Structure formats: structure tokens, C-alpha cells
Amino acid sequence: MHKKVTLKTIARDLNLSPGTVSRVLNGKAKEFRISDETVAKVFRFAKQMNYSPNLIAKGLQASKTFTIGLMIPDISNPFFALMAKYIQRAALKANYSILLVDAEENIEREKKQLKNMVSRKVDGIIAAPVGTVFDHFQDIIAEGIPLVFIDRYFKNADVPYISSNNYNGAYEATKLLIENGHKRIALIKGDEVIEPVKERREGFLNALAEFGVSQAKCWVVGNEFTIENGYLHTIELLESDEKPTAIFAMSNLIGLGVLKAVKEIKLKIPDDISLIIFDDQPYVSYIDPPITTVKQNSEKIGELAIEFIIKKIDNGSTKLASQLIATNIMVRSSVKNIN
Amino acid sequence: MHKKVTLKTIARDLNLSPGTVSRVLNGKAKEFRISDETVAKVFRFAKQMNYSPNLIAKGLQASKTFTIGLMIPDISNPFFALMAKYIQRAALKANYSILLVDAEENIEREKKQLKNMVSRKVDGIIAAPVGTVFDHFQDIIAEGIPLVFIDRYFKNADVPYISSNNYNGAYEATKLLIENGHKRIALIKGDEVIEPVKERREGFLNALAEFGVSQAKCWVVGNEFTIENGYLHTIELLESDEKPTAIFAMSNLIGLGVLKAVKEIKLKIPDDISLIIFDDQPYVSYIDPPITTVKQNSEKIGELAIEFIIKKIDNGSTKLASQLIATNIMVRSSVKNIN
DNA sequence: CTGAAAGCGCTAACAC
DNA sequence: GTGTTAGCGCTTTCAG
């Protein structure tokens, strides 16, 4: 096993002081007018010894770790995975690393790992919170750690967020359905504890109202962002006498559940039932029929979140406003025109 | 902004020494026979002050950070996202945190971030390497940092790996095709620089040979794990005069490309062309037709990787063997029996 | 131009 | 039972 090389060992070997070596290696040679000879010597030796600065020690003394905590409810959900990718990319560009936690939709886990992040002295936290309670996030604020929510958020918490414009997205999707002649529409949604779920439901309901579609003949069902939830409610819906002509699935997983159910009862999209899914995923364009979706701009959300958090890290007094990012309807072939 | 509370401040406020407070808070009260009174006092005060241990300081002094670096080629690829989930879960269970890097299939990025991980003093690294070169991984070994490859690996590197049994998986898939009467099969593969690609190709070829299918009438094409690669080659394949009756897509992304192409030229699976995809994803069972796949055991791979790395961290001399994890054929409806 | 020393927060060795 | 001290590796005054 190889012996460790630190500033001190380098200094000793070169008959210099740790301070000097530190200054050189941190590009402060000019500033301190250190002789070219010394500079060259240090660089050469450090390279030769394959010196690797100890960021832990640096972090301890600077009270800054260049680490951002990323708290995600489910990294295997492609929506979050994609967001993680962009957040990661933006973070690295700014020389920050990402400490990843998958809360697995479990609030206890979220709490515990949030504490861990505090102990690890992350410089900031980006989180898509799991539940309805956010006391544990208040603690983060109290600790003075910059925090921003992505995707999910709490309206009544004083924490800024970057999310899709969920209301508009749902509104537009519903409008599209209505324009295609649909008057019997079912919304399969997630848990309303989640703010974006409320927003999407509002967008849906308001579109119905605005275009004079009877809410009495529409459905608002479901309570989870899962395949199971989409599946069960679709079965129920499609087996009822007065069934809908279109389904609006509020997430990619719910959408998968709808697909599963429709296939199982041998119906055809869009002939028997039209479908639109909130959240676009690669596969939806390659299946038969390609699904019309509401695409969220994960890249922008990720970039803004990092930008935001870094600004806050660099200047704690910064007061940045939450942002709602526009969505895009990706029109494909899962909505039938029944006008 | 709140003032920081450290062992020292607690000690001062309580008229104790930092050492004592440390011992109490680390559950060593019994061992040092510290008075119940003191213990209670310390715990109460620490809780009241919302004390959070500084893991950075702890890490510096113990030369152990309880952090594992996870290097992934593309976290938005659901295969890797799922693996990341399981690795993360297993790591947290053992009180380790995950420092995530998405190399974005870019070797320079991988190199740079590997160095960063070394500087951050991660206790071990789990990586699915991007390319063909692995000098930079040798450096990790030289530093004495435990390292294990997952999914992708190098046969000639002295680094242990946990991966699917790629050879067998491909062999079984090919066998299934042959048993269903296919004699004109195309394999669309990734870059052969990647060891599992070679293995899968071998499995494919050997199955052909073993069951007496003419390799002259089969195809081995493609060079990337991308949708584009799958798409382009499928188009070419299906537009040729002597086209295959079945396609074996070597990854989920290639499979998506095949789906895209097949749809575009208005062919039907499995009537016009049979398909089997290496790597199972949720959506494949809900589309029409459901796709037969080779399912990899991501959970097991993830768990073993963590188990492995922690063993190695705890006992550097441990010499653990690489492992190939069995795959499973998920028979669905994308393979037509043409016997 | 460079060195010496203090300190970031913590633990462990050594005192008593 | 508890205090004191040294040191993890680094940067940063303060000296000279």
C-alpha cells in the first residue's frame, strides 16, 4: 500500500513550508510573488508524487464542502432520473459534487437522510419532497443551509421551488381533449397532498368549466403515482356503463397502468379510448399508438435549481423567487377526434 | 443566522471537556463509566441545541468518510437508474452515503471525476466504466481505494466485477428464437469495446452454432447502446431483400430504436418480425405486443456490489471473486413461432 | 519571497 | 469519571 502524500510531506521533501506549497498549488504564486523556481519545483514534485488534495481537510477548514445534497423520492422513476442527470451535469460544471439520496417515497427515510446531509455539511440541498409534512425542512432552513424544492413543493412553506407549470400543462392537455370532441373525460391522479397534483387537477377542472364540459359526466379518481393506481382505476372506469371517451393520466407511472388495463380488457387506443399522459418518456413515441403527452422541461428545472442554489450559497442574502417552467404538449396519436 | 454548536461549545456550556461530551454522544458512556447525571445532561443539552455532529471533522480525523463513490455512464438510462436505486438502498442500510457521478459516456469526464472522488476521500468506488481504457482506474487501486465494477468491466484488469451472466443471457435468448423456428436472426449490438457486448455476441453466436443455424444467414450489426443505432440498423435490415425473421436487440435503448423503425415502416411485431430485447423495463409488458426480454437482476448486482465494497473497506486484504448474476428470460408475445 | 503557528471539529492516548 | 493534549490536512494570518 502506498504512503500518503500531503502538503506537509511535499513541503518536507522539498525543504519548504506547507504554507508555501499550499500557495503554489492553489495558484497563488503570483500573488505571493513566489520564485519561479520554487513554483516549478513544487508542481513537478506534486505531479510526480501524484498528489491529490484532501478535500475533507479543505472542507473542514473552509466550512465549505462543494457538495450539494440531492433528495429524490424515487430515482428509478425516469422523470426523476432525467432530472438527476441534468442537476448532476450543472453541478459538476460549477465544481460541485452530488450526494444522492433516494427517499423511496418514505418520509422517515427523508427525515433521517436530511439530518445526515446536515452532518455532512453539504453546502445546499435540492429536494423533491416526499410527503405533506415539512418540519424537517424547516430545520434545514434554521441551520442556514440553502434549500430549493424541485417538482414537488409546499405552497405554504417559505421555501422556493422550481417546478413545471402544472396548472397550465393540465389545462392545455384537457383543452386538447375537449377540442377533439371529448366530453366524458376521466382524470386519474396522484395523492393530493402533493401540490402539483392539486394544480393539475385545478387545470383539468378549470378547462372543463371554461369550455362548458359537464363536470358531472367527468371523473376525478386515484390517489397515487403508481402503475397499480392507474391500472385499477382504468379497469373500473372502462367497465362502467357510462364510460369515459378519454383518460388523462397524471404521471408516467399512472399512464403505464392505463396502458396495462386497456390492453388487458382488449380495448384499442385511441379508437375505444383516448389517452394523454402528463410527463413524456422516450418509449411513448415508439409504441403503438404513440402517446400524446405533456412534456416537462427537466433540463431547465435541473439547471435552474443548481443555479439558484449556488447563488444562494455564494450570497446567503439572495432572495430568489420560485419559478414555474412551461410544459409542452407533444401531440401524437392517442387522442381520437370524435367531433 | 444561528450560531454553530460543536462538541466544544457544548462542553463549555456544560462545564465539561470536549472529550467527555464526545464519549457520551458516541455511546461510550458505559465503557468510560461516565456518571448517569453527566450522560443525561449531555444528551438533553445536545438535543435541545439540536446538535449535529460534523462528519467532515470526523472524517478527517478517522480517515474514513462513510461515502461511496458511484460512477455511472448514464443515470437517465433506466437500467442504471434502477441499479443506482438498489445500490443506494444497500449503502444507506450500512450507513454509507452515495456520491453520484454521471460520466455521460465520456471518458474524460470519468477520469476527472474519479480524481475528484479520490480527493474527496471516498471509502470505496463502484463504477460501470465508460470506455476501453482503464489506466485511471489503476490509479484508484494504487491509492488503495476499494473498487468494484458493475455491469461493464475489463477482463484483463485486475478489478473484480459484478455483472449479469451476459453470455448465458444471450445464449438463452437466441435459443428461444431458434426453438421458435427462426433461422434468419439479426443481432444489433453495442460497442465491442464493452466486455458484456462481446459476451452477449458470443452467446448469440454459440447458440447459432450449437443448434446448427447458419451464421451466413444471420447478422451481427451495430456499435452503440443507443436508440439511433437500433433504429438505423433495423431500417437497413428490414429493407434488405433477404431480411431476418427475428431481431435480438442488445439493450433497452437499441430495443427502443427497433420499435421505432418497425413502426415507421409499418411492420407488425411479431407477425412480420420477431423481437427480443436484452434488459427488461416496466413498459415492455404494457405495450402492444408485450416484448419478450432478458431480465437482469439489478437488485442483486447492486446489493452484491455494496456488500463487496464494504467487506473490502473493512478488511483491505479481502480478496473477493467477481460474480456473474443469472438473467431471466421474460417470455411475452414478441416472438412468433414459425415452425 | 517564505516560514511559523493557529485553528477548523473531532477523537484517542494519556493523565489523574 | 473526567480533563488535557495532540493531530488528522489544510489555509491563513502574522512575521520577517
pLDDT of res. B212: 92
Q: Which positions in chain A touch B55 (Cβ < 8 Å)?
A: 116, 119-121
What pLDDT band is residue B6 in, cutting at 50, 70 and 90? very high
Answer whether B286 sits within 8 Å of A259, measured CB to CB.
yes
Q: What are phi and psi of B129, to 5 degrees?
A: -65, 155
pLDDT digits (tens, 9 = 90+) for B249-270: 999 999 999 999 999 999 999 9
pLDDT digits (tens, 9 = 90+) for B158-176: 899 999 999 999 999 999 9
Q: Which CATH number fits domain B7-53: 1.10.260.40, 2.40.50.140, 3.30.70.100, 3.20.20.80?
A: 1.10.260.40
Answer whether A143 sits within 8 Å of B227, measured CB to CB.
no
Count chain A–chain B contacts defined by CB atoms under 8 A: 159
CA distance A23 to chain B (A): 18
Give residue limits of the domains in chain B.
7-53, 64-164+298-325, 166-296
> What is the rounded distance in angstroms from the CA atom of residue A264 to the CA atom of residue B112?
49
A156 pLDDT above the threshold of 90? no
pLDDT digits (tens, 9 = 90+) for A65-99: 999 999 999 999 999 999 999 999 999 999 999 99
A39 pLDDT above the threshold of 70? yes
A162 pLDDT above the threshold of 60? yes
Q: Cα A252 vs. chain centroid, distance in angstroms? A: 14
Mutate to test the interface with B, among A58, A72, A286 (most CBs of B within 10 A): A286
The mean pLDDT value of chain A amounts to 94
pLDDT of res. B2: 62
pLDDT digits (tens, 9 = 90+) for B120-150: 999 999 999 997 788 899 889 988 999 999 9
The CATH classification number of A64-164+298-325 equals 3.40.50.2300
Contact call for residues B163 and B151 (beta carbons, < 8 A): yes
pLDDT digits (tens, 9 = 90+) for B16-28: 989 999 999 998 8
pLDDT digits (tens, 9 = 90+) for A103-150: 999 999 999 999 999 999 999 999 999 977 888 998 899 889 999 999
Q: Which positions in chain B touch A78 (Cβ < 8 Å)?
A: 76, 78, 81
B57 sits within 7 Å of strand C by its CB: yes
A241 sits within 7 Å of strand C by its CB: no
What pLDDT band is residue A46 in, cutting at 50, 70 and 90? very high
- In percent, how much of chain B has pLDDT > 70? 99
CB atoms within 10 A of CB B101: 26
pLDDT digits (tens, 9 = 90+) for A200-233: 999 999 999 999 999 989 999 999 999 999 999 9
B1 pLDDT above the threshold of 60? no
Classify residue B319 by burial, with Cβ atoms within 10 Å: 0-12, 13-18, 19+: exposed
A34 sits within 7 Å of strand C by its CB: yes
The distance (Å) linking the CA of A19 with the C1' of D14 is 13
pLDDT of res. A2: 62
Answer whether B75 sits within 8 Å of A53, measured CB to CB.
no
Q: Which CATH number fits domain B166-296: 3.10.20.70, 3.30.2130.10, 3.30.559.10, 3.40.50.2300?
A: 3.40.50.2300
Q: Calculate mean pLDDT across residues B204-208.
A: 97
CA distance B11 to chain A (A): 19
Nucleotides of D under 7 A from a protein CB: 1-13
DSSP strand pairing (B292-295 vs B328-330): antiparallel
A7 pLDDT above the threshold of 80? yes
Q: Calculate mean pLDDT across residues A267-293.
A: 95
Shared fold status for B7-53 and B166-296: no
Q: Which chain B residue has its CA at the smallest distance from A64's CA?
A: B56
Residue of least CA–C1' distance to D3? B17
Say how many residues make up chain A: 339
